[in-house]
Amino acid sequence: MLTIKNLHVTCDDIEILRGIDLEVLPGEIHAIMGPNGSGKSTLGKVIAGHPDYEVTAGDILLNSQSLLEMEPAERAIAGLFLGFQYPIEVPGVTNFQLLHAAYNASREGKLEKEGFEHLLKEKAQSIGIDPDFIYRDVNCGFSGGEKKRNEILQMLLLDPKCAILDETDSGLDIDAMRHVSEGINRFMRPEKGLVLITHYQRLLDYVKPDKIHVLIDGRIQCTGGSDLSLKLEAQGYDWLQGAPA
């Protein structure tokens, strides 16, 4: 599904990722944890094609196809989705307009407004979003939880092959966490892949990962099962600092 091979990345001549190897098989959920500044969000942005980062070595493959020569829009059409840590506001463009355009751009069969409206409202209601929400400008005046739920709505609607969610749990109250988690679990099917970038154990109480990777200083220092997050919660990252990758 998603394969990362010996990925090295720099920004402003500073090396941030120092040889990342990762393989996500169909049907798998992988969580990436680590302290601030370890390179977690950078990894998500690089996979999506952010222009500020330079890949100096390695490759990123989606279903055996290299993403490195693709523009971000081409990666999205190929089946990649990135949920942002800090979703941006887009004044003057409604959720309906944005998602209608994105949905039709990623499919051969186009949906007219009426059919798309029915589909979008159905997806919104499935994760506890008021149907009127879809007519508001993208993320404008939204609370933190609403912005994150909007990211999940986009993911459910676009139905990518592989989704990367960057700290989707940050700023969520208990109810929002439940709705977001239900949306993530609804997305997952045997043919999908998912990468969760998170600081905290609490999201992983709702969304059970197959593997957890700990990223420190631009390298994966440790990989384990779902119980690894409990050890991190109890002991922090100090016990891994300086350990061989």
DSSP-assigned beta bridge partners for residue 212:
31, 224
pTM here is 0.90
Residue 32 lies in a domain: yes
Neighbouring CB atoms inside 10 A of 9's CB total 24
4, 26, 20, 33: which is closest to 204 by C-alpha?
A: 33
Residue 141 lies in a domain: no
pLDDT tens-digit map of 43-78: 999 999 999 999 999 999 999 999 999 999 999 999
pLDDT higher than threshold 80 for residue 240: no
pLDDT tens-digit map of 160-187: 999 999 988 877 888 888 888 989 999 9
Residue 202 lies in a domain: yes
Look at residue 227 in the predicted model and tell me its pLDDT.
Answer: 84
CB 26 within 8 A of CB 1: yes
Please tell me what DSSP assigns to residue 16. E
* Structure tokens belonging to residue 245: 């990758």
Angle at 193 between CA 18 and CA 168, to 5 degrees: 75
The number of folded domains in the chain is 1
pLDDT tens-digit map of 193-228: 999 998 878 888 889 999 999 999 999 999 998 888
Residue 147 lies in a domain: no
CB 38 within 8 A of CB 205: no
* Structure tokens belonging to residue 215: 């990223």
Residue 224 lies in a domain: yes
Neighbouring CB atoms inside 10 A of 61's CB total 15
Contacts for 154 with CB less than 8 Å, ≥ 6 apart: 81, 83, 99, 102
DSSP-assigned beta bridge partners for residue 229:
none
Show the beta-strand stretches assigned E in the chain.
2-11, 14-24, 29-33, 54-62, 65-66, 80-83, 90-94, 137-138, 162-166, 193-197, 211-216, 219-224
Residue 105, SS3 per DSSP: helix
Look at residue 95 in the predicted model and tell me its pLDDT.
Answer: 93
Residue 146 lies in a domain: no
pLDDT tens-digit map of 1-26: 899 999 999 999 999 999 999 999 99
DSSP-assigned beta bridge partners for residue 60:
4
Residue 199 lies in a domain: yes
Look at residue 243 in the predicted model and tell me its pLDDT.
Answer: 53
- Please give the Cα distance from 146 to 174 (Å, whole number): 13
- Please give the Cα distance from 182 to 123 (Å, whole number): 12
What is the separation of C-alpha 82 from the centre of its chain, rounded to a whole number of angstroms? 4
pLDDT tens-digit map of 113-150: 999 999 999 998 888 888 888 899 999 988 888 888 88
Residue 79 lies in a domain: yes
Look at residue 85 in the predicted model and tell me its pLDDT.
Answer: 84
Give me the domain span that covers residue 231.
2-87+159-240
Look at residue 242 in the predicted model and tell me its pLDDT.
Answer: 53
Give the CATH number for residue 192. Answer: 3.40.50.300
